[in-house]
């Protein structure tokens, strides 16, 4: 797979787990494209482009379609993510209760901006439209854990709990 137009993004990835997902979900057709990508992302932590090409070969779903889905839906990412994902809620209640200050504190704590991953791959930072815990605004999620009424001075304590 050398000299591929996608260059580094095509770095060798073990395709075994992808085949295992396909086997578990068989038969996979167009209608299962999104759950397929969700399972692949659960397995690899992201959607390695070489895996998407393999999925396309195996299922007959055009690669362009899989890349289209991967870039349309906010949940998917084509690059390796951190071990933990920090999500800052940008919902309305969080907005009126000062989420901007929280965002700034977290950006500073992690040294990255939303959409980026720390160099040690410990954290990826994202924003989320609303996590539905508006009564606890402002809210931050780390992986599947919720933190409510977040104080900008406490963001260091929150992320310290995740290695």
Residues binding other proteins (CB under 8 A): 29-35, 37-38, 61, 68-69, 72-76, 90-93, 95-97, 100-101, 128-137, 139, 144-149
Query: Which of 27/72 has CB closer to other proteins?
Result: 72
Query: Least distance (Å) from other proteins to the CB of residue 68?
Result: 6
The dihedrals phi and psi of 145, each to the nearest 5 degrees, come to -100, 140
Q: Say if residues 51 and 78 touch (Cβ distance below 8 Å).
A: no
Q: To which residue do tokens 């770095």 refer? A: 11
Closest-CA residue to 87 (of 100, 70, 72, 106): 106
d(CA 155, CA 20): 39
Query: Which of 33/110 has CB closer to other proteins?
Result: 33
Query: Least distance (Å) from other proteins to the CB of residue 17?
Result: 20
Query: Least distance (Å) from other proteins to the CB of residue 103?
Result: 13
């Amino acid at each position: 797979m050398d000299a591929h137009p996608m260059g580094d993004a095509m770095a060798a990835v073990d395709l075994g787990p992808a085949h295992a997902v396909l086997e578990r979900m068989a038969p996979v057709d167009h209608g299962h494209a999104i759950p397929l990508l969700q399972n692949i992302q659960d397995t690899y932590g992201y959607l390695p482009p070489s895996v998407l090409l393999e999925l396309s070969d195996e299922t007959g779903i055009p690669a362009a379609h899989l890349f289209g889905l991967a870039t349309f839906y906010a949940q998917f990412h084509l690059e390796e993510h951190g071990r933990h994902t920090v999500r800052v809620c940008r919902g309305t209640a969080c907005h009126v209760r000062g989420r901007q200050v929280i965002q700034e504190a977290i950006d500073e704590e992690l040294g990255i901006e939303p959409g980026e991953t720390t160099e040690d791959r410990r954290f990826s930072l994202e924003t989320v439209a609303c996590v539905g815990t508006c009564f606890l605004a402002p809210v931050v999620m780390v992986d599947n854990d919720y933190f409510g009424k977040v104080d900008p001075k406490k963001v260091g304590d929150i992320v310290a709990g995740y290695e």
